[in-house]
A and B are shown apart, each in its own frame.
Chain A
Amino acid sequence: MPKEYRTIQEVAGPLVMVSGVSGVSYNELGEILLENGEKKRCRVLEINGSNALVQLFENSTGINPETSRVKFLGHTMELGVSEDMLGRVFDGLGNPKEDFEIIPEKRMDVNGVPMNPVSRNYPEEFIQTGVSAIDGLNTLVRGQKLPIFSGSGLPHANLAAQIARQAKVAGSNDKFAVVFAAIGITFEEANFFVEDFKKTGAMERTVLFVNLADDPAIERIATPKIALTTAEYLAFDKGMHVLVIMTDITNYADALREISAARKEVPSRRGYPGYMYTDLAAMYERAGRLKGRDGSITLIPVLTMPEDDKTHPIPDLTGYITEGQIILSRSLYRKNILPPIDVLPSLSRLKDKGIGEGKTREDHANTMNQLFAAYSRGKEAKELMAVLGEAALTELDRMYAKFADEFEKEYVSQGYNTDRTIEETLNIGWRLLSMLPRAELKRIKDEYLDKYYGKEG
């Protein structure tokens, strides 16, 4: 029976100071027992002699320094996991939302253990999401972490749901699961996902963790870790290919800032703590594949960029850790290009090893580079056109400008229900490139030009 302390000295925001403790260790999980029998979970943030500084995972309502008791459980935060979790909904701390109980097969430390870089398997299996702007230009592979950078009011939820619904590896029957973590989003948005999963029959292979906007902010600190722990279990113990979707990381980062501010730490940019990079990295890096295991974790975090600013610390630090990013653009959305993926600043770092002969098609890399270059030139021409008028453009620049328009309409704007195969995506690409003179397509090898140029449509 662990010892109970009645020595709460101070409660400030999410932090509680307990004095006179002994045998307590760093990062240990604790419980604060209120007089009315309520339990609140917490963990040790710092231990200094006989003083323990603990951080609550729930709000501090009802804690009384006189009557509340604290006990430490002798282990770090753990999650009981089992295959029965599939198809169920949990709260942000991993407690079942509905009336059922999970009999854990195993208990796992939610903080995870870093993978040995030597033991990682390089991600190179192409995942077909059915979205051309992703498959063709910013290809997703199994074990990748590819965030969606969005802004308030942009349709990232629709895109994330579309990916969850359509993602598949061509010609494979591997076991597949989705772990979805809602971090501080509204009921409506969370419900959109639940309904979408139910409607498409994806629910039975999905585990949902839901921390809504009106749940305590501090609970959000644990939600992504709990989701990833479940994913690790399904992937590396049960051999499933797990797609983890987490939305919205911005809310997580704000909770992190709240704790840091309560501890009066020296802030880095915009008040976020200096260790935010490390904290986010410890989370994102849990995606991947391991040698000798069948499963994989592919991670798609969604974050809303405050003021659509890509240099804000949250998207910025995320971009430095993840293997690329899919960026949504407000101006495309206004033009009714759906999904409004801005392909130029978007990037998948792992695409090069996931495409080409035997994976997608031999001409994929070449056409991809050419589409990027041509679209970029087309956009420049359009800018010039806006200033000087169409007459000031050369014949070639006019072609490029037209190409850019068609590219957005045909290639990017496919709606949320079109599921294109990679062949279809590549062929649309060729149809668009054939609008340009052959001599302009310098990034494509002659043999592919001979084979595909001008052959489509």
Chain B
Amino acid sequence: MADGVIKKVSGPLVVAEGMQDANMYDVVYVSRHKLIGEIIEIHEDRASIQVYEETSGLGPGEKVISAGMPLSAELGPGLIGSIYDGIQRPLKEIEKKAGTNLKRGVSVPALDRDKKWEFTPKKQDGEFVSQGEVIGEVQESGAVLHKIMVPPGVSGKIVRIKGGEFTVTDTVCELEEEEGKRHELSLMQKWPVRKGRPYSKKLPPDVPLVTGQRVIDTLFPIAKGGVGTVPGPFGSGKTVVQHQLAKWADADIVVYIGCGERGNEMTDVLNEFPEIRDPKTGKTLMERTILIANTSDMPVAAREASIYTGITIAEYFRDMGYSVVLLADSTSRWAEALREMSGRLEEMPGEEGYPAYLAGRLAGFYERAGRIDAFCGEEGALTIVGAVSPQGGDISEPVTQATLRIVKVFWGLDSELAYRRHFPAINWLKSYSLYLDRMKPWYEQNTAADWTSFRERFMRLLQEEAELEEIVKLVGMDALAKSDRLKLEMARTIREDYLHQNAFHEEDTYTSLAKQFIMMKLMLTFYDMAEDAIEQGVGIEQIMSLEARERVGRIKYLPQQDCEEELGDIVSALKTELEKLKAEAKKNA
């Protein structure tokens, strides 16, 4: 293949001539530094290339060599616990090779070529296998059994398969097609990142992804295989919400993409995840996590690629029949990278300078989520939660709007709540989940029959609170009926004692569904009892200053095993105290 020659350099965009042999989206190596780039536009023999590294010092006349293949991810044992940049270069290995700062042109393969993995075959010689079928397993980390699958598009009869210790490039299995064509399979396969991996069938999402975050699980749950978004102005806690999901979501694998965000946030994850244990497996969170870090100071073009690299890795694990969660923080930075390249290509801009294809690209990304029947015969799910950082917190901007047209769950963050330090600052009036109806049967079977009705009562109280507050603003608290004042107090209890959740408190950071149910039950029981007492003439202040009332607010800090007992205790204490008040009220009347 003929080499090209650089004609123009403008930031991350390089134009090369003599590229008649190259295809769209082929990977190219630019200049003597062999900087990695990708072809994003072709005019005759001139190719526009987005370069994934700093282009300082490049000039006309230098060589451009095409790799003859699109940007691909390496998929195989070694992914778990790694931290990669946007084009899947392992940052830990780069640190060993190049020191603390990211110098360019450092080339390290994504998967360690020397490390040996213990491979256990699950098929025998002579068996026929087709794409996606599992031929063997590698115990990659304590928490993850890595299934070695036949790559997409390949099938045949196993001629030879062997167990033992292998590197990712060693041949472990040979296949022969009917026509006699042979394939050598290793532990690793490659897949172009911009193309979704194939599966057998998509299924409707009807099982919730339990996150342990009360406002999410109770009010606005997301399904396994669903898509959700968290938009919010800066300081409203987007990243903490994403981190909480990465920590506590009941997924087998978590892929966390830090796209154009702060360096220290990735460091935080790197420090913290190896310390926290997954309540389900007992292993550390790092043993199920893959990080993609393209921080805001790293080259902008690689930011564009990072979400595709991440989702390809996520799909690979989904194909093994795992439940995978992909967190992208933030898709706005990705869209900005798209805008910057579009501007340099001198394309006609759409809204706010974003390219006209923004909505299409976003939809294409989110559509790769879903619950599926994988070729391996198991059910896999890929859930995507994308953060959006709307400028000025104004959600009418193009990225948020294009995202909202696709996603089914919207957790709208509110800066007013954040100022009050109400976290997670998910606004209960603006947010929604379109999976509720679908998942209702699951909740009723797996938690309690009352779950949905409790949730509805919570929502109703919160709605009514908003309406009543309007009235209070006009005429004052005294003008309200006693029952309405009780509603306000109850809504406050729900807000402060249920929806508010402290991510930094050891017990409060995660609440199981069972505990959520107990908490809801306690609050609603209290409400019913209080309503009854008020009817019998007891004053609101009296009820609110009950000793047991304070314990309602503190139950969230108790370990789950103590909650059932505490519920009974509080309810009986409330009963005694309220009976006393009722008797007094009667006497006075």
Question: B-contacting residues of A (Cβ < 8 Å)?
Answer: 22-28, 45-50, 76, 111, 113-123, 143, 265-269, 274-275, 277-278, 281-282, 285-286, 288, 290-293, 310-313, 316-317, 319-321, 323-325, 344-345, 347, 349-350, 352-353, 365, 369, 372-373, 376-377, 384, 387-388, 392-394, 439, 442-443
Contact = CB atoms under 8 A, between A and B. Distances in A.
Interface of B: 7-11, 15, 55-61, 83, 91-92, 94-95, 98-103, 233-235, 258, 260, 262-264, 266-268, 270-271, 293, 295-298, 300, 333, 336, 339-340, 343, 349, 352-353, 389, 391-394, 415, 418-422, 472-473, 475-478, 496-497, 502, 504, 545, 550, 553-554
A438 to B, nearest CB: 9
Nearest to A51: B8
Nearest to A260: B343
Most buried by B among A111, A310, A320: A320
Contact of B420 (A268, A373, A393, A439): A373
Contacts of B391: 269, 311, 313, 316-317
A278 B59 contact: no
Contacts of B473: 384, 387
A119 B264 CA distance: 10
Given A323-B262, A442-B554, A25 B9 contact: yes
A316 B8 CA distance: 33
A372 B420 contact: yes
Given A115-B100, A116-B94, A118-B95, A25 B58 contact: yes
Nearest to A310: B392
Nearest to B294: A117
Nearest 4 A/B pairs, CB to CB: A311-B392, A281-B296, A25-B59, A392-B476
B421 A372 contact: yes
Nearest to A437: B545
A24 B6 CA distance: 12
Contact of A50 (B60, B98, B418): B60
Nearest to A53: B10
A115 B300 CA distance: 15
Contacts of B352: 268-269
A277 B296 contact: yes
Contact of B264 (A28, A47, A275, A323): A323
A345 B235 contact: yes
Most buried by A among B8, B264, B298: B264
Given A111-B56, A122-B271, A394 B235 contact: no
A111 B258 CA distance: 23
A123 B268 CA distance: 9
19 contacts: A25-B9, A26-B55, A26-B57, A46-B10, A76-B57, A116-B95, A117-B267, A117-B270, A117-B295, A275-B11, A281-B260, A281-B295, A345-B419, A353-B268, A365-B504, A373-B421, A377-B420, A388-B475, A393-B477
A379 B103 CA distance: 51
Contact of A24 (B55, B59, B264, B336): B59
B550 A266 contact: no
A393 B266 CA distance: 47
B59 A118 contact: no
A48 B394 CA distance: 39
A48 B8 CA distance: 4
Given A114-B297, A115-B100, A117-B295, A27 B55 contact: yes
Contact of B263 (A285, A310, A392): A285
Nearest to A312: B392
Contact of A118 (B92, B234, B343): B92
B9 A46 contact: yes
Contact of B262 (A25, A286, A310, A321): A321
Nearest to A319: B234
B266 A321 contact: no
A285 B235 contact: no
Nearest to B348: A266
Given A265-B343, A311-B391, A376-B420, A117 B263 contact: yes
Contacts of B389: 320
Given A292-B100, A311-B393, A388 B476 contact: yes
Contact of A115 (B102, B258, B340, B422): B102
B260 A325 contact: no
B558 to A, nearest CB: 13
A22 B389 CA distance: 43
Most buried by A among B8, B263, B271, B545: B263
Contacts of B553: 442
Given A47-B9, A111-B56, A285-B295, A119 B101 contact: yes
B392 A25 contact: no
Contacts of B233: 311, 316, 319
A316 B234 contact: yes
Given A24-B60, A388-B476, 15 more contacts: A25-B9, A26-B55, A50-B60, A114-B297, A117-B270, A275-B11, A277-B336, A310-B392, A321-B262, A325-B235, A344-B420, A369-B502, A373-B420, A373-B422, A442-B496
A142 to B, nearest CB: 12
Nearest to A375: B420
A313 B353 CA distance: 14
Nearest to B550: A439
A53 B62 CA distance: 19
A344 to B, nearest CB: 4
A379 B235 CA distance: 20
A321 B261 CA distance: 7
Given A116-B91, A117-B270, A282 B8 contact: no
A123 B265 CA distance: 10
A387 B471 CA distance: 12
A382 B94 CA distance: 56
B8 A47 contact: yes
A363 B170 CA distance: 57
Nearest to A350: B264
A25 B8 CA distance: 10
Contacts of A347: 235, 418
A266 B83 contact: no
Contacts of B94: 116, 118
Contacts of A292: 100
Given A25-B58, A115-B263, A118-B92, A285 B393 contact: no
B417 to A, nearest CB: 10
B419 A49 contact: no
A381 B352 CA distance: 40
Contacts of B99: 116, 119
A122 B268 contact: yes
A122 B504 contact: no
Contacts of B55: 26-27
B106 to A, nearest CB: 10
A317 B263 CA distance: 16
A219 B55 CA distance: 23
A373 B502 CA distance: 13
Nearest to B56: A27
Nearest to A291: B100
Contact of A114 (B102, B258, B339, B502): B102
A377 B492 CA distance: 12
Nearest to B83: A118
A50 B263 CA distance: 38
Contact of B293 (A47, A117, A325): A117
B414 to A, nearest CB: 13
A46 B10 CA distance: 5
B263 A49 contact: no
B340 A274 contact: yes
B353 A266 contact: yes
Nearest to B330: A320
A120 B393 contact: no
Contact of A275 (B92, B270, B340, B349): B340
A260 to B, nearest CB: 10
A25 B268 CA distance: 38
Contacts of A316: 233-234, 391-392
Nearest to A120: B267
A269 B553 CA distance: 45
A47 B60 contact: yes
